[in-house]
Amino acid sequence: MRLIFIISLFLPTLSGFGQIPQVRQTAFEFEYQQLKVSRIQSDHNGFIWMGTQIGLFRHDGVNVDYIPFVDSSIFDPITVIHPTPENEILVGTKHGNLYITQKGKLHLVKFFLNPNKASIQSLTIDVQKQIWVGTAGAGVFVLANETQYSLSIKNGLPDDNVNALLADKRGMVWIGTDAGICLAQLNNNKLTVLPSSRSIKLKDHFVTVLEKGEGNSVFIGTQSGELYVCSDNFISNFIVPRNTKLNFGSVVDLTFINKKLWIATETKGLMCLEDGHLEESVNHSNSAVPDKIVQITTDREGSIWIVDKTENVFMVNDLFSFVHAPQLKEAPIQAIASDLIGGLWYSNAFGTYLFKRGKNIPLPSQLAKTKAICIYPDSTGNIWLGTFGSGVLCYNPHRGTILTYNENNGLANNNVISISGNGENVWLATFAGISIGKLKNVSQSNFKFTSAYQEYGLPENYYYQVFIDSKGNVWFGSDGQGLSVIKNGKLEFFSQQLGKDARIINSICEDAKGNIWFNSPEQGLFCYQKNQFKKFGTKDGIREIGYNSICADSKQNLLIVNSRGIDMFNIQSNNILYHDKEIGFVGKAKESRVSAIDVFGRIWVGAGKQLILYNPESNLLWQGPEPTIKSASVFLSPFEMLPGKVFSSEENYITFDYVGIWYHLPDEVNYLIQLEGYDPNWIKSRNLQVTYPQLPPGDYVFKVKALPSNNFRSSKELRYAFTICKPYYQTWWFIGLFLCSVFLVLYVGFVWRIKQLREKEKMNSDRIQFQFETLRSQVNPHFLFNSFNTLSGLIEKNANDAVKYVEHLSDFFRSILQYKDKNLIPLAEELAILDDYIYIQKKRFGEGFSVNIDANVRSTIGFIAPMTLQILLENSIKHNIVSKSQPLDVEIYILASEYICISNPIQLKSSKEKSTQIGLTNITSRYAILQSKKVIVEKNNGQFVVKIPLIIYDSRTDN
């Protein structure tokens, strides 16, 4: 393969003016000590990552977060930081370890083996997400799907010291070693060095840096300070000639942003290569940029972050740069203009100066002494200088001639405030109207100015500016008559449209779209677009209304220079960004402010004693801060922000930590936050955290907008959707279940209550029936007949016994009456009734009937349903034969102190007494209601036994 060296010429005319970009040194503190940062790298989210000996630090413009090693005792200097596509950070260390960020800690990468613990010098991740690790002395290790491959001198690597790795879009990895460069590939488990790539011949094989360029091109930096660009076909172009005496030592790092290649050098600081032109001025000798750089990286705003050998962090931005001109220390700038060959003309109260290629060019003394009020380089190369009181000077740099014209040459006035022109004429604004001069006649001795009053009828007045737009219209800004224009040879005034208050117009310019902008010191900024005027005042964000100087660039920016700083106005979005202290602007209210655009499209601003260069190419600020959620937590414990995450109803205390990454002016960032589904409107905030306690269930979207200032209308929005579930007691199935169970409980209770009521009713009716039955049985004619029969017998035999009998009978009836309403009575009382009854029956049957009450029955304490024993005894008399020949012996005894038993031999009557059959059933059911044990009825061995449960204690006896 052929090797082509194309040496691009170092074009001195296009090189800089010795301007110095704004450099900020940033110090970070951790545990009251200044952080010693050894490596720096930005990630895809815009965070700046810094490597130290104790771990990784993440900077978001406002705060620094510490990501320690998982084992806090580790002391391992970080040598490489590499962001992964998954927004994790890979970290290689001096002691040969590979870490990855996980949950706020640095964890060792699994499956990575580095037997000799060779220091890791470079990392890259290819398109297949395979991790390539370049080491000092151990070649390259590749981690793919838990398998590790290794590449060394043995399998084709030029050298085992791997200084740089770079994965390209085609799946190949560029490897820069001490002995050359090569490309390698890991495909189908085969790690191969592309043989053709070894023929990329460099003058210096010691490759130190590889950086991605435009398309598939790759920049190569070497130890001896050479720079190459290598395209698809492996042809390397030598882009910085060695013979420029730059000798910046080793290329330490490269970064390519916004078509500019920034070069960090070992001993000579930072340089910038733009369109093949090396900007040496960023160099150490005249700026705060450190000499010995270790690493550089870029942020989204186009700033360069630098870590130097002394482990400090710097930030460089070349959007605005300053020119150090010693003359400016004397007096403020009065006029500024850029000529067609890249020279910058400026003047102050001591004279006029020309600045070119970082140097002041000596001017003829007459010119140098001229205190120019305005400067105009015309299309033929002449430089016009307008003065206070001395007319105008026309300098021809080629011939070195200086011509002076004043009122004698037809000039309206000797005070020339502004000069402009086109290919034919030069227009001069004076204190007494506008004068016009024909360029082709300039050097002729009879050169005369004509008056615009005579030609176009333009009134004689104080004019601040004459401006010729791209269409050839000539615009005039006057003191008293406002704005006027000569369009196609016709004069036009705008005093009606602009109103009385815009009588003074001091600055006019044209933007890239062809709109005319002009500044009124009383009213503010106006835009003339399609015959319409639009006004912009302080409420639109312009910081100050006054004698502001305005200048538009070829992009979308309009600079408004006022005493407080530079307001950068976006003509498309109408957003405004302010620049003042952060770029080093020092404004004073009474000082003059001028601005001019040069042939490269850059704007020069003279403000007081400062000469500032604005480079619109570097402007990445209009995109604004990027809102990012740093972490999110529920009840203060962080959770992973998966899209559409669902939380339970108790997880309703949600906190978001967010930041709008804006290194430019981090403290100025405003936030608009809204939780869709909770907040009805956007909420303005300056906090970096928001907490939503006790969120009700629902679907939410958390939204953040970050605005770099109060006057930024458009901004990026970050959205995160999540859901909080309804609690279980609000779910339909729970409510259904709950209703069912309530219904069930009510139903069961209802049923139970009905049953209880029925039982009660039944008991009452039973008792009434029982009472009735008892009464009826006792007063039934049989009983009475038998009793009275017995009584009449007794009266005959023994009057005393008869009296006793009647007493027992009356006792018996009284007892029936007395106990009829009771549920339970003591056993002793029942026995007393029984005794009366037995006495009555004994008198009737004599020896044919006997009742043997066991002795312990009387001594037993217990309760019994009233009349139970009496009815059972009556039953036995009723159903059995009672006679002398067949006596009925009834036994009453206590069984196991639980039952009182009444037993009689079965000797059934042949003729049954009429019975309701109710006695025994009634007893059984009454006991059932009393909820005691069951009444047991047994027939065995010719004995009929009824066992009545003895209720030992029952409160219901109180009834």
**By C-beta, is 205 or 543 nearer to other proteins?**
205
**By C-beta, is 309 or 842 nearer to other proteins?**
309
Does residue 407 touch other proteins according to CB under 8 A?
no
Q: Nearest approach, Cβ of 156 to other proteins (angstroms)? A: 16
Draw the binding track, 411-450, toward other proteins (x: CB under 8 A; -: no contact). ----------------------------------------
Angle at 702 between CA 697 and CA 706, to 5 degrees: 160
**What is the footprint of other proteins within residues 794-813 (CB under 8 A)?**
none
Question: Which residue in 187, 201, 213 sits closest to 128, CA to CA?
Answer: 187
Q: Nearest approach, Cβ of 223 to other proteins (angstroms)? A: 6
**What is the footprint of other proteins within residues 715-744 (CB under 8 A)?**
none
Q: Nearest approach, Cβ of 137 to other proteins (angstroms)? A: 9
What is the DSSP annotation of 623-684?
A: G--EEEEEEEEETTEE----TTEEE-TT---EEEEEEEE-SSSGGG-EEEEEEETT-SS-EE
Draw the binding track, 126-155, toward other proteins (x: CB under 8 A; -: no contact). ----------x-------------------
Q: What is the rounded distance in angstroms from the CA atom of residue 150 to the CA atom of residue 157?
A: 10
**By C-beta, is 119 or 430 nearer to other proteins?**
119
Draw the binding track, 366-405, toward other proteins (x: CB under 8 A; -: no contact). ----------------------------------------
Does residue 206 touch other proteins according to CB under 8 A?
yes
In eight-state DSSP terms, residue 234 is S
**By C-beta, is 205 or 579 nearer to other proteins?**
205
Q: Nearest approach, Cβ of 69 to other proteins (angstroms)? A: 16
Q: What is the rounded distance in angstroms from the CA atom of residue 230 to the CA atom of residue 250?
A: 19
**By C-beta, is 75 or 785 nearer to other proteins?**
75
Burial class (CB in 10 A: 0-12, 13-18, 19+), 546: middle
User: Which amino acid is residue 130, in one-letter code?
Assistant: Q
Q: Nearest approach, Cβ of 387 to other proteins (angstroms)? A: 51
**By C-beta, is 250 or 815 nearer to other proteins?**
250
**By C-beta, is 226 or 766 nearer to other proteins?**
226
Q: Nearest approach, Cβ of 178 to other proteins (angstroms)? A: 5
Does residue 517 touch other proteins according to CB under 8 A?
no
Q: What is the rounded distance in angstroms from the CA atom of residue 312 to the CA atom of residue 39?
A: 10
Q: Nearest approach, Cβ of 261 to other proteins (angstroms)? A: 23
The one among 43, 65, 178, 679 contacting other proteins by CB under 8 A: 178
Does residue 161 touch other proteins according to CB under 8 A?
yes
CA-based end-to-end distance of the chain: 122
Q: Nearest approach, Cβ of 176 to other proteins (angstroms)? A: 13
**By C-beta, is 310 or 379 nearer to other proteins?**
310
The one among 105, 107, 309, 726 contacting other proteins by CB under 8 A: 309
Question: Which residue in 605, 650, 929 sits closest to 765, CA to CA?
Answer: 929
**By C-beta, is 224 or 495 nearer to other proteins?**
224
Burial class (CB in 10 A: 0-12, 13-18, 19+), 584: middle
DSSP three-state, residue 427:
strand
Does residue 116 touch other proteins according to CB under 8 A?
no
**By C-beta, is 137 or 848 nearer to other proteins?**
137
Helix segments in 489-647, DSSP class H = 495-498
- Judge contact between 296 and 305, C-beta under 8 A: yes
**By C-beta, is 294 or 419 nearer to other proteins?**
294
User: Which amino acid is residue 310, in one-letter code?
Assistant: T
Tokens 């007393």 belong to residue? 832
Does residue 205 touch other proteins according to CB under 8 A?
yes
Does residue 284 touch other proteins according to CB under 8 A?
no
Does residue 97 touch other proteins according to CB under 8 A?
no
In eight-state DSSP terms, residue 161 is B
Does residue 479 touch other proteins according to CB under 8 A?
no
- Judge contact between 292 and 309, C-beta under 8 A: yes
In sequence order, the β-bridge partners of residue 353 are: 346
The tokens of 426 are what? 């030069």
Q: What is the rounded distance in angstroms from the CA atom of residue 949 to the CA atom of residue 864?
A: 8
Does residue 250 touch other proteins according to CB under 8 A?
yes
Q: Nearest approach, Cβ of 264 to other proteins (angstroms)? A: 16
- Using CA atoms, how far residue 782 sits from 255, 683, 814, in Å, is 131, 103, 19
Helix segments in 339-408, DSSP class H = 365-369
**By C-beta, is 310 or 897 nearer to other proteins?**
310
In sequence order, the β-bridge partners of residue 24 are: 315
Draw the binding track, 57-96, toward other proteins (x: CB under 8 A; -: no contact). ------------------x---------------------
**By C-beta, is 152 or 554 nearer to other proteins?**
152
**By C-beta, is 295 or 875 nearer to other proteins?**
295
**By C-beta, is 77 or 410 nearer to other proteins?**
77
In eight-state DSSP terms, residue 722 is E
Does residue 277 touch other proteins according to CB under 8 A?
no
Q: What is the rounded distance in angstroms from the CA atom of residue 609 to the CA atom of residue 591?
A: 9
The one among 179, 288, 688, 936 contacting other proteins by CB under 8 A: 179
The tokens of 131 are what? 């991790």
The one among 34, 233, 285, 310 contacting other proteins by CB under 8 A: 310
834 dihedral zone (left: phi>0; alpha: psi -120 to 50; beta): alpha
Does residue 114 touch other proteins according to CB under 8 A?
no
433 dihedral zone (left: phi>0; alpha: psi -120 to 50; beta): left
Q: What is the rounded distance in angstroms from the CA atom of residue 677 to the CA atom of residue 698?
A: 7
DSSP three-state, residue 619:
coil
Count, residues near other proteins per rule CB under 8 A: 12
Question: Which residue in 687, 684, 677 sits closest to 656, CA to CA?
Answer: 687
The one among 22, 223, 255, 519 contacting other proteins by CB under 8 A: 223
Q: What is the rounded distance in angstroms from the CA atom of residue 567 to the CA atom of residue 546?
A: 13
Q: Nearest approach, Cβ of 696 to other proteins (angstroms)? A: 55
**By C-beta, is 263 or 867 nearer to other proteins?**
263
**By C-beta, is 75 or 788 nearer to other proteins?**
75
Does residue 352 touch other proteins according to CB under 8 A?
no
Q: Nearest approach, Cβ of 222 to other proteins (angstroms)? A: 11
Does residue 854 touch other proteins according to CB under 8 A?
no
Q: What is the rounded distance in angstroms from the CA atom of residue 336 to the CA atom of residue 611?
A: 9
The tokens of 174 are what? 């560029």
Longest Cα–Cα distance in the chain: 190
Q: Nearest approach, Cβ of 247 to other proteins (angstroms)? A: 12
> Where on the chain is the footprint of other proteins (CB under 8 A)?
75, 136, 161, 178-179, 205-206, 223-224, 250, 309-310
